[in-house]
Amino acid sequence: MDNAPVGVGHYENFPVASVLCPPRLREPVRAIYAFARTADDIADEGDAPTTQRLAELAQFRAALRAATASGANTASSRWPTVFRAVQHALREHALDPALLHDLLDAFEQDARNPNYANREELLDYCRRSANPIGRLLLQLYGIDDATSLRQADAMCSSLQLINFWQDLSVDLPRGRNYLPHDDARHHGVDAGNPRELKVDAATRALVRHLVVWAASLMAEGAALALRVPGRAGWELRFVVHGGWRILEKIARMDFATIAQRPRLGAADLPLLVWRSWRYRVDWFAAERLS
């Protein structure tokens, strides 16, 4: 299947290639998103067995290798529109294809649906599932200093974790479990049986603990929005405050995301605009989650 409808039907916290994105970069941003969205759907959507998902991801990776080869014909792949756009973005903006391969590594890991013993294992997953997106965007903006890369990694890992803690009511019944087992044991929660988890004092305490972790990572990366110039910097301000807003909503529901999924909606937009306008990297603190 080609990528014409990519993204349709998928709820996203944060807009892709929004009006704040510099117009000249919207097409490569869309290309990156379509690549990631298509591969993620192969890994995670539908009822296909793991072996089939991994085989399709291997085909997708082969198409990526072909797209990076000189003079390759992307129309011969199963996803010609995806890879024509990726090929153009890679060549026009000198993007590092290794970052796209990192994304595929993460999607293959998702297809196998492992458990995560500790935060280190989960952050290693985030390093490949989320951080490459931030680094690709920085490459589009021509930013490659060590501080910006570190801040982008912290921001992207935070956004991935926020998505995990926001989606517990969706993921756990499917047996998809991103709860670090060390943290779960610390709070007396048996994370080995994700479908059996219920909202109680222990799971609320666990989710709060993990939400504070995600918030602290976002705080590490928040200054990046002031380092990236122009419209891209403003978009990052919205991304940061969108993530923090989700964490606020989780706190307001007393960390019961095992039962209910908080969302951003149109009613949140004026607040995000105001907070982005009044942007401070120290705006959010763990006390707001109590």
Q: Which residue segments constitute the domains of the chain, with CATH numbers given?
A: 20-113 (no CATH), 115-290 (1.10.600.10)
pTM, two decimals, is 0.89
Intra-chain end-to-end CA distance of the chain, in Å: 46
Confidence of residue 285 (pLDDT cuts 50, 70, 90): low
Contacts of 226 (CB under 8 A, 6+ apart): 233, 279, 281
Report the Cα 62 to chain-centroid distance in Å. 23
Which tokens in the block code for residue 247?
């964490």
Question: Residue 210: pLDDT above 60?
Answer: yes
- Give the pLDDT confidence score for residue 280 in this predicted structure: 81
Contacts of 105 (CB under 8 A, 6+ apart): 128
Question: Residue 2: pLDDT above 50?
Answer: no
Mean pLDDT lowest for which of 8-12, 33-37, 167-171? 8-12
- Give the pLDDT confidence score for residue 33 in this predicted structure: 92
Question: Taking residues 234-257, what's their average pLDDT?
Answer: 93
**Angstrom distance (rounded) from CA 216 to CA 279:** 17
**Angstrom distance (rounded) from CA 202 to CA 184:** 9
- Give the pLDDT confidence score for residue 279 in this predicted structure: 87
Q: Are 14 and 239 in contact (CB under 8 A)?
A: yes
Which tokens in the block code for residue 129?
């599932």
Which tokens in the block code for residue 68?
């990076």
**Angstrom distance (rounded) from CA 239 to CA 7:** 18
